[in-house]
Structure 1
Amino acid sequence: MASTGTSTDRRTVRSVGVTGASGGIGSATALMLAACGWDVIGTARSQEKADALTVVAAAQGRRLRTVVLDVAEPASCREAMARVEEMTGGGAWAVVNNAGVPQAGALQDVSDEQARHLLEVNLLGAMRICRLALPGMRRRGEGRIVNVSSGLGRVPWPMGGWYSASKHALSALTHCLRVEMAHAGVKVALVEPGAFATAMLDRAVVDLAGTDPSGGAGYDRMRDLFTAVNRRVPGPEPVARAITRSLSSRRPRARYTVGLDARLLVPLHAMSPLWLTDRVKHRVSGLPRTMPGPGRSGPGQETA
């Protein structure tokens, strides 16, 4: 059962805002928190998606409220957070920054516009929500922030460099924010999921097709890999449980790494020399290590 009340009123159910709650990790988190008794306010980019989330919750016997929010738009963030402040009588006790996009593709193929949009959603938008939520938390002298990063923030992966960069930066800012806000009673945690079956991997496949429809080196292999992974990995509920634990614990961890793949690959990558991790990434991604020439294999074949 979720903790209830604040330091001044233990009868008040604590409220939590969850961004990107219309699907994947966000939806699983919003529904789980609602089942645990939290006052959940889930955000979605459109009213249609917000209404669909409400219907799903009602079908499961859970109640939550919704707000339309596009984290990439500063005006939308200000309006949505002002609405949350009205709905909660002073601002949410906690926020979960979950909204994100993959923008898969080789670095040379991702445009400035695509990269800026990814950074707005994955990084700047999350920190914007933090800035808007913090005044209310500081007034109360307590609050929680959970930022959802990724294991790929510490294991940068080819064809997903911008995504890894945005999550690496989000992790760094989260660790700084935790230290900066400790005196204000605001506890900040980072959640690093591995691979879980969500629409994110499906969108990454679409990104790859749109970024290089001709199927350049590595693209076909990565599309197949993303599709296969999405079929084999579990759903996002383990991540939702980690987020729920972080919000409910009196002393939340600084970081929650979720998923066997992330728990194994993150330390293994950190301990291994770059020449070895580069070789593994070449083999898995299908990207060639040498320039094709007379008597050599073509792209995608010379991988080891």
Structure 2
Amino acid sequence: MSTWFLTGASRGLGAHWAEAILERGDNLAATARAAASLKPLTDRYGDRALALELDVTDRAAVDAAVDAVEQRFGGIDLLVNNAGHMLVGAVEEVTAEQARAQMDVNYFGALWTTRAVLPGMRRRGRGRIMQVSSLGGLIAYPALGIYEASKWALEAMSQALAAEVAAFDIQVTLIEPIVFPTGLAATSPQVTRIPAYAHAHEALYAGSASGFVPGDPAATAAAILALADAPNPPLRVLFGINGLDPLRAEYAARLAEIEQWDDLSRLAQGNPA
């Protein structure tokens, strides 16, 4: 029996994952901004479910929650950083407060929980950390720049982390959901639109409508359990279909542009001794 720590467990993908984890017989510490939203889990699964009210941006509260889970269950085997929101807006439309809040939840929240579980995982010589990123953590679309910045930060931190903790048999995976109808954007903070950026919003929705097929949120539960059981999990995995073609185009375009400007790169190098 494994023990999971899952943030953002009350809605969206997290709610499906919480049910699946408990249904298969594992222990689960489920967190949400309002613990009352998790009461159905504790009612149904009893002592195997621990509901915690947690704001992941509060580092002291995160540390206390991890301590409570380790005392209750004896350790955390799998961390899933799922809490987050998606701020839709052009860079100029986003307020300073909204930008900081986006980073605080999506990046720093995941950083604090990751740091909190690492000492226990290192002591036990095993552990899995799953970071819920996004296709937007790999490709930047217009009108999502601040949201995607939080995911790109998560990507870099997690890739470095994976190399740092492999020696302790701790495995890190970035989950990259593509399109799932979870209501994430609708329940997230909203910007005040600037008419001059109407084209950016149109480009975002035109892009999301071309080739991306919304997936079934419930189906992701089987996928995350399979990922947890994989003996050699990947650093990155897409959740959903039709993401490979835009990724191929993205990375091919990046390399082509860098190669095209190689003369300038050499100019900047100078003539070192």
TM-score (norm 2): 0.83
Match of residue 33 from structure 1:
21
Contact 1:19-1:44 at 8 Å conserved across structures: yes
Deviation at 1:213, TM superposition (A): 7.9
Cα pair distance change 1:30/1:222, threshold 3 Å: farther
Instruction: Find out whether 1:46 has 2:27 as its counterpart.
Output: no
- TM-superposition CA deviations, 1:20-69 (whole Å, max 9, x none): 011111111111122222212211111222225546xx3x9996331111
Instruction: Find out whether 1:255 has 2:236 as its counterpart.
Output: yes
How far apart, in 1, do the equivalents of 2:193 and 2:41 lie? Answer: 33
How far apart, in 1, do the equivalents of 2:205 and 2:173 lie? Answer: 33
> Partner of 1:261: helix, strand, or coil?
coil
How far apart, in 1, do the equivalents of 2:37 and 2:204 lie? Answer: 27
Match of residue 80 from structure 1:
65
- TM-superposition CA deviations, 1:152-209 (whole Å, max 9, x none): 11110111101111111111111111110011121111111101111213235x62xx
- TM-superposition CA deviations, 1:245-296 (whole Å, max 9, x none): 22112211221112113233222222236999xxxxxxxxxxxxxxxxxxxx
Higher relative contact order (CA 8 A, sep 6+): 2
Q: How does 1:206-217 map to 2 (within 5 A)?
A: 207=190, 210-212=191-193, 217=198
Instruction: Find out whether 1:24 has 2:12 as its counterpart.
Output: yes
Tell me which of 197, 207, 214 is aligned to 1:233: 214
Structure 1 portions without partners, runs of 5+: 1-12, 277-304
Cα pair distance change 1:181/1:228, threshold 3 Å: same
Tell me which of 98, 107, 115 is aligned to 2:82: 98
How far apart, in 2, do the equivalents of 1:201 and 1:235 lie? Answer: 17
Instruction: Find out whether 1:203 has 2:187 as its counterpart.
Output: yes
How far apart, in 2, do the equivalents of 1:48 and 1:178 lie? Answer: 34
Cα pair distance change 1:52/1:45, threshold 3 Å: farther
How far apart, in 2, do the equivalents of 1:62 and 1:198 lie? Answer: 28
How far apart, in 2, do the equivalents of 1:161 and 1:211 lie? Answer: 15
> Partner of 1:139: helix, strand, or coil?
helix
How far apart, in 2, do the equivalents of 1:52 and 1:215 lie? Answer: 46
Contact 2:215-2:240 at 8 Å conserved across structures: no
Cα pair distance change 1:118/1:194, threshold 3 Å: same
How far apart, in 1, do the equivalents of 2:203 and 2:39 lie? Answer: 34
Q: How does 1:167-178 map to 2 (within 5 A)?
A: 167-178=151-162
Cα pair distance change 1:61/1:121, threshold 3 Å: same
How far apart, in 2, do the equivalents of 1:95 and 1:80 lie? Answer: 13
Deviation at 1:113, TM superposition (A): 1.2
Number of aligned pairs?
255
How far apart, in 2, do the equivalents of 1:275 and 1:265 lie? Answer: 15
Cα pair distance change 1:270/1:248, threshold 3 Å: same
CA RMSD in angstroms, aligned pairs only: 2.9
Match of residue 166 from structure 1:
150
Match of residue 261 from structure 2:
none
Structure 2 portions without partners, runs of 5+: 258-273
Instruction: Find out whether 1:108 has 2:92 as its counterpart.
Output: yes
Cα pair distance change 1:186/1:224, threshold 3 Å: closer
